[in-house]
């Protein structure tokens, strides 16, 4: 058997942001991680990922909170069968129209013929390879079905209410490219202007500007794009009823570490009332007061000549003050949060000195005088001066923005944390790692990094359910936190992978001590709903300043070490060594070579006979992969071994082998040569699409090759690898069509009697490792004897692989194993070695 055991290594990288606020939030994570508020943040969702062609490549399954069960498997293009034709066109049109389309509410087909309304959100993300779509599915059936009419009425009322309130303080968020092309605009834009948001993209928004404001606005916007300075522009936009309203557009640029602009983020805020108030102030104080009052804003009015302060009733209500309490600076300062008090004091002193600019604003935290509740207040002020430049009057408007601030905080936390374990996600954790590396580099210090992977989490999900798997993830996160140093930065990097970096882990010995403590800790079973959950952990470690001098290289070093840990049997720590990098380069070289094999169709089958050792009669053949090197000739599959762990390449190699074997079978059968059953090896990745059996059977039918001449060999890894949930259905489909199923390398992996009972296995193949020492090793002989008897009890044919000597063949016959395969019985040969010789041509 030349097929290598299936191994998986997931390497997920996200680019960290430069968001300073997110980094500050991370520093206070211990105050936030266990807040019950966030239990309400995450709705019952299924998460999914699709490639740029629309093939669904991953979906979260069996969520304990997600009720619908789909009528068909959505993997691949199976999702199309869950949607009606009209809904499918709506979804595809939304995906074509934008990289981040609006949420869609569509009807999905579920088991039992039921259809449920679900909300689908998705976004296209560019990466190193082709772009991918990331999305969620949320069950909204009850709300949609029960209240659809009421919702329509409520939405109509909401629109009317919004039309009434938009005159007060409408806000529209928007983003733009570094060159100023609008990329996203909030849905309120349509409600405000009647212009569809997609028409506002690029420079389309200029169509809503008042003609008199066009030249000034474009000039200011162009100048700020060139300078990178924050944008602050007032202009009028045309409303959907044809009127115009003053709006204030503000934006700031997000920059990369080198200072280059990545994107502009801005808001469009209704300042019509403030603008009218500012204009009216020059004509009449009373008109100014009435205009501002209509906007329901709190007002602080200071007469700079007399020194008289006046607070409006709305402002007093914001502060929780009665009508008769004096409007003094001391009272205002006493209500301001200590962290913002100096800023307000500075503003008051600037007022007294007459040094405030004509227009100013600030956001302050205050404690209400009546309840003590913390509120966020946004203030915007204007100053008027005499012709001589002397301050005359200062008007400050106040608006309570607490709900907006809290919503922003929740969104920011959700964007930087894993909602299940409440640890920082990869983005935030990697940003913290880079900051730690920068400090260590500047100070000449070292620190340690560990990457951790929970062993066999998928087995827990498959055997006990995803609720048990989720509980195991949370329990592991808690145990990791319990043994981590106080200065450690923890994060869930995705799936079952976690990260830990700590300045106190200064050398390899410290990493070894911490890893030993963690491995010992997680050995204690986790209990979930009365069930014991076993947990192991594989760890890769590296030391900054020893193994790498950059955060990116340190992460790669720990990644390689983790890969080595999982490949060496798991449940252990591996520290980075230079040989790991060489091994990684060798794997990369194998992958490149395998891609060439696929691209140039260099793969070819060699056939090794399966012999009745009693009579020497050939019962069939196994098609073994070989490939032709342009200079070195025929190569063994070991030269591209890493490709068998790569789903895409592995599937392509299987397809090439299948095409070649069917051509050879056609030639043999047409010439009158009966090859018996010819077996071809299938990898775990072949089963992931769900249509493997249909494709193979279709090719057999097209080639006019009876299924009685065909056999599928699988290793035990397919029961645990990618597409494992499709294995039973696919193998049963093969069996029902007359294709025999052989279980290869039996006894070396995780196969059990349950698998033999669950799947339609016709042939058990004893691994060559047990046959090679069968005469000397009593244990190997006992294993062979047990497998022969086990196969007989299940009515299966038992085949011994790796029969190299006559003595081994005789021993196997005495044990009751009559079918063998190996160099003693016949070496793998190309099709041209068989009589009559036939040259292979493409079908």
Q: Which of 199-213, 525-539, 755-769 has the highest mean pLDDT?
A: 199-213
* Banded pLDDT at 603 (limits 50, 70, 90): confident
Distance between CA atoms of residues 11 and 127, nearest Å? 13
Over the stretch 725-758, which tens digit does the pLDDT of each residue have?
Answer: 678 888 888 889 999 998 887 766 555 566 777 7
Q: Nearest CA to 484 among 534, 454, 437, 448?
A: 448
- Provide the β-strand partners of residue 298: 398
Q: Does 647 lie in the same domain as 733?
A: yes
Counts of helices then strands in the chain (DSSP H, E): 25, 31
Q: What is the DSSP letter of 642?
A: G
Secondary structure of 203-255 as H, E, C letters? CHHHHHECHHHHHHHHHHHHHHHHHCCCEEEEEEEECCCCCEEEEEEEEEEEE
Give how far the C-alpha of residue 593 lies from the chain's centroid of Cα atoms, to the nearest Å.
29
Q: Are 455 and 569 in contact (CB under 8 A)?
A: no
| Domain contains 432 | yes
| Domain contains 440 | yes
Output the average pLDDT for the chain: 82
Q: Does 263 lie in the same domain as 140?
A: no
Asked if pLDDT for residue 487 goes beyond 80, the answer is yes
How confident is the model at residue 455, as a pLDDT?
83
Asked if pLDDT for residue 150 goes beyond 60, the answer is yes
Sequence-distant contacts of 729-737: CB under 8 A, at least 24 apart: 729/690, 730/687, 730/690, 730/692, 730/693, 731/693, 731/759, 731/760, 731/761, 732/759, 732/760, 733/693, 733/694, 733/697, 734/693, 734/696, 734/697, 734/760, 735/760, 735/762, 737/693, 737/697, 737/707
Residue entry with tokens 């869609």: 104
Asked if pLDDT for residue 297 goes beyond 80, the answer is no
Query: What is the CB neighbour count within 10 angstroms for residue 767?
Result: 22
* Banded pLDDT at 322 (limits 50, 70, 90): confident
Average pLDDT over residues 160-189: 75
| Domain contains 687 | yes
How confident is the model at residue 6, as a pLDDT?
39
Using DSSP bridges, classify how beta strands 797-801 and 819-821 pair: parallel, antiparallel or unpaired. Answer: parallel
Asked if pLDDT for residue 821 goes beyond 90, the answer is yes
Q: Does 611 lie in the same domain as 539?
A: no
How confident is the model at residue 20, as a pLDDT?
55
Looking at 113-163, which runs of residues are DSSP E strands?
A: 115-125, 132-139
How confident is the model at residue 610, as a pLDDT?
94
Q: Which residues contact 363 (CB under 8 A, 6 or more apart)?
A: 376, 377, 378, 379, 401
Q: Which of 311-315, 349-353, 751-755, 825-829 has the highest mean pLDDT?
A: 825-829
Q: Which residues contact 691 (CB under 8 A, 6 or more apart)?
A: 76
Q: Does 567 lie in the same domain as 625?
A: no
The three-state secondary structure class of 776 is coil
Q: Nearest CA to 94 among 476, 240, 83, 814?
A: 83
How confident is the model at residue 9, as a pLDDT?
36
Using DSSP bridges, classify how beta strands 115-125 and 132-139 pair: parallel, antiparallel or unpaired. Answer: antiparallel
Distance between CA atoms of residues 567 and 6, nearest Å? 11
Q: Exposed e or buried b for every residue in 663-677, given b needs 16+ CB within 10 A?
A: bbbbbbbeeeeebeb
How confident is the model at residue 274, as a pLDDT?
82
Q: What's 86's domain CATH number?
A: 3.30.450.20
Q: Which residues contact 161 (CB under 8 A, 6 or more apart)?
A: none
Query: What is the CB neighbour count within 10 angstroms for residue 390?
Result: 10
Q: What distance, in Å, lies between the first and last C-alpha atoms of the chain?
A: 27
Q: Nearest CA to 436 among 373, 381, 491, 388?
A: 491
Q: Does 236 lie in the same domain as 372?
A: no
Report residue 489 as tokens: 């930065």
Q: Exposed e or buried b for every residue in 362-380, given b needs 16+ CB within 10 A?
A: eebbbbeeeeeeebbbbbb
Asked if pLDDT for residue 565 goes beyond 80, the answer is yes
Q: Does 182 lie in the same domain as 137?
A: no
Give how far the C-alpha of residue 627 lies from the chain's centroid of Cα atoms, to the nearest Å.
36
Q: What's 653's domain CATH number?
A: 3.20.20.450
Least-confidence region, from 512-516, 639-643, 668-672, 800-804: 639-643
Average pLDDT over residues 559-584: 80
| Domain contains 344 | yes
The three-state secondary structure class of 697 is helix
Q: Is the pTM of this model over 0.75?
A: no
What is the DSSP annotation of 266-303?
EEEEE-HHHHHHHHHHTT-HHHHHHHHHHTT-EEEEEE
The three-state secondary structure class of 562 is helix
Average pLDDT over residues 775-794: 87
Distance between CA atoms of residues 341 and 335, nearest Å? 9
Average pLDDT over residues 795-815: 91
Residue 153 burial (10 A CB sphere; 0-12, 13-18, 19+): exposed
Asked if pLDDT for residue 28 goes beyond 70, the answer is no
Q: Does 383 lie in the same domain as 438?
A: no
Distance between CA atoms of residues 49 and 60, nearest Å? 9
Average pLDDT over residues 627-653: 82
Distance between CA atoms of residues 254 and 261, nearest Å? 6
Average pLDDT over residues 17-37: 51
Using DSSP bridges, classify how beta strands 526-528 and 359-367 pair: parallel, antiparallel or unpaired. Answer: unpaired
| Domain contains 159 | no
- Report CA Rg, the chain: 35
Q: Does 565 lie in the same domain as 470?
A: yes
Dmax over CA atoms of the chain, in Å, equals 119
Q: Which one of 148, 178, 200 terminates a domain?
A: 148
Report residue 25 as tokens: 């939030």
Q: Are 222 and 180 in contact (CB under 8 A)?
A: yes
Q: 319 or 461: which carries more pLDDT confidence?
A: 319
Q: Are 664 and 593 in contact (CB under 8 A)?
A: no
How confident is the model at residue 3, as a pLDDT?
40
Asked if pLDDT for residue 39 goes beyond 90, the answer is no
| Domain contains 793 | yes
Asked if pLDDT for residue 381 goes beyond 80, the answer is no
Report residue 839 as tokens: 């040259």
Sheet holding 182-185, edge to edge: 182-185, 171-176, 261-270, 244-255, 231-238
Distance between CA atoms of residues 315 and 323, nearest Å? 10
Q: Does 596 lie in the same domain as 745?
A: yes
| Domain contains 697 | yes
| Domain contains 467 | yes
* Banded pLDDT at 840 (limits 50, 70, 90): very low
Q: Nearest CA to 58 among 45, 69, 48?
A: 48
Average pLDDT over residues 460-467: 74
Q: 644 or 625: which carries more pLDDT confidence?
A: 625
Phi then psi for 619, rounded to 5 degrees?
-90, -20
Q: Are 117 and 100 in contact (CB under 8 A)?
A: no
Q: What's 476's domain CATH number?
A: 3.30.70.270
The domain tally of the chain equals 5
- Note down the domain range covering 319: 296-407
Average pLDDT over residues 545-549: 89
Sheet holding 309-311, edge to edge: 309-311, 298-303, 391-400, 374-385, 359-367
* Banded pLDDT at 424 (limits 50, 70, 90): very high
Percent of the chain with pLDDT over 90: 29
Q: Does 118 lie in the same domain as 192?
A: no
Q: Which one of 520, 543, 576 terminates a domain?
A: 576
Percent of the chain with pLDDT over 70: 85
Over the stretch 101-148, which tens digit does the pLDDT of each residue have?
Answer: 999 999 999 988 888 888 999 999 987 788 999 999 988 887 776 767
Q: Does 828 lie in the same domain as 766?
A: yes
Q: Does 383 lie in the same domain as 249?
A: no
């Amino acid at each position: 058997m030349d097929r290598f055991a299936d191994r998986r290594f997931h390497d997920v990288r996200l680019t960290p942001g430069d968001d300073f606020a997110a980094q500050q939030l991370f520093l206070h994570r211990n105050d936030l991680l266990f807040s019950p508020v966030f239990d309400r943040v995450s709705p019952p969702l299924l998460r999914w990922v699709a490639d740029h062609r629309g093939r669904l490549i991953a979906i979260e399954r069996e969520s304990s909170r997600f009720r619908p069960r789909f009528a068909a498997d959505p993997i691949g293009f199976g999702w199309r069968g869950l949607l009606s034709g009209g809904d499918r066109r709506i979804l595809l049109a939304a995906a074509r129209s934008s990289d981040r389309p609006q949420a869609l509410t569509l009807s999905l087909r579920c088991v039992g013929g039921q259809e449920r309304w679900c909300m689908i959100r998705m976004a296209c993300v560019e990466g190193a390879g082709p772009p991918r779509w990331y999305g969620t599915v949320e069950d909204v059936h009850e709300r949609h079905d029960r209240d659809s009419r009421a919702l329509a009425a409520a939405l109509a009322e909401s629109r009317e209410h919004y039309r009434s309130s938009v005159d007060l303080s409408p806000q529209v968020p928007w983003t733009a490219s570094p060159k100023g092309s609008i990329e996203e605009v909030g849905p309120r834009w349509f409600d405000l202007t009647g212009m569809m948001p997609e028409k506002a993209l690029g420079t389309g928004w200029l169509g809503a500007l008042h003609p008199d404001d066009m030249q000034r606005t474009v000039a200011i916007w162009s100048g700020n794009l060139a300078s990178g300075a924050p944008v602050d522009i007032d202009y009028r936009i045309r409303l959907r009823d044809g009127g115009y309203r003053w709006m204030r557009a503000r934006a700031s640029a997000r920059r990369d570490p080198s200072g280059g602009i990545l994107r502009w983020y801005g808001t469009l805020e209704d300042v019509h009332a403030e603008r009218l108030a500012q204009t009216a102030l020059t004509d009449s104080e009373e008109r100014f007061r009435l205009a501002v009052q209509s906007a329901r804003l709190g007002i602080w009015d200071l007469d700079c000549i007399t020194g008289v302060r006046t607070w409006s009733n709305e402002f007093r209500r914001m502060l929780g003050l009665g009508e008769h309490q004096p409007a003094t600076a001391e009272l205002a300062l006493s209500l301001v949060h200590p962290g913002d008090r100096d800023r307000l004091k500075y503003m008051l002193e600037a007022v007294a000195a007459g040094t405030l600019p004509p227009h100013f604003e600030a956001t302050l935290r205050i404690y209400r005088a009546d309840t003590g509740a913390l509120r966020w207040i946004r203030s915007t002020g204007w100053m008027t001066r005499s012709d001589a430049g002397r301050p005359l009057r200062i008007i400050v408007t106040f608006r309570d923005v607490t709900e907006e601030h809290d919503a922003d905080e929740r969104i920011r936390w959700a964007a930087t944390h894993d909602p299940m374990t409440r640890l920082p996600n990869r983005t935030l954790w990697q940003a913290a790692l880079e900051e730690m590396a920068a400090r260590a580099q500047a100070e000449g210090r070292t620190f340690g990094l560990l990457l951790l992977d929970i062993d066999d989490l998928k087995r827990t999900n498959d055997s006990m359910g995803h609720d048990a798997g989720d509980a195991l993830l949370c329990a592991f996160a808690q145990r990791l936190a319990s043994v981590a140093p106080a200065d450690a930065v923890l994060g869930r990097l995705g799936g079952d992978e976690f990260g830990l970096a700590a300045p106190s882990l200064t050398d390899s010995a410290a990493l070894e001590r911490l890893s030993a403590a963690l491995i010992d800790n997680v050995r204690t079973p986790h209990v979930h709903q009365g069930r014991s959950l076993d947990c192991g952990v594989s760890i890769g470690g590296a030391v900054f300043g020893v193994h790498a001098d950059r955060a990116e290289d340190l992460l790669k070093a720990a990644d390689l070490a983790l890969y080595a840990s999982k490949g060496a049997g798991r449940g252990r720590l591996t520290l980075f060594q230079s040989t790991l990098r060489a091994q990684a380069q060798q794997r990369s070289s194998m992958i490149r070579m395998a891609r060439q094999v696929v691209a140039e169709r260099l793969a070819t089958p060699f056939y090794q006979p399966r012999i009745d050792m009693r009579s020497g009669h050939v019962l069939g053949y196994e098609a073994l992969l070989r490939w032709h090197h342009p200079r070195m000739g025929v190569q063994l599959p070991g030269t591209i071994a890493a490709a068998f762990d790569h789903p895409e390449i592995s599937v392509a190699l299987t397809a090439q082998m299948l095409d070649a074997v069917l051509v050879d079978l056609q030639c043999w059968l047409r010439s009158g040569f009966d090859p018996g059953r010819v077996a071809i090896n299938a990898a775990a990745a072949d089963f992931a699409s769900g249509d493997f059996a249909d494709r193979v059977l279709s090719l057999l039918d097209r080639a006019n090759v009876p299924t009685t001449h065909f056999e599928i060999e699988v290793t035990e890894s397919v029961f645990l690898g990618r597409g494992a949930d499709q294995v039973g259905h696919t193998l049963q489909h093969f069996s029902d069509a007359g294709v025999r199923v052989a279980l290869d390398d039996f006894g070396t992996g995780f196969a059990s009697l349950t698998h033999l009972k669950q799947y339609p296995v016709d042939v058990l193949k004893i691994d060559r490792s047990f046959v090679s020492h069968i005469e000397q090793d009593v244990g190997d002989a006992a294993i062979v004897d047990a497998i022969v008897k086990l196969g007989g009890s299940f009515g299966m044919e038992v085949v011994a692989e790796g029969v190299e000597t006559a003595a081994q063949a005789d021993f196997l016959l005495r044990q009751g194993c009559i079918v063998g395969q190996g160099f003693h019985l016949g070496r793998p040969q190309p099709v041209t070695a068989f009589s009559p010789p036939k040259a292979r041509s493409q079908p």
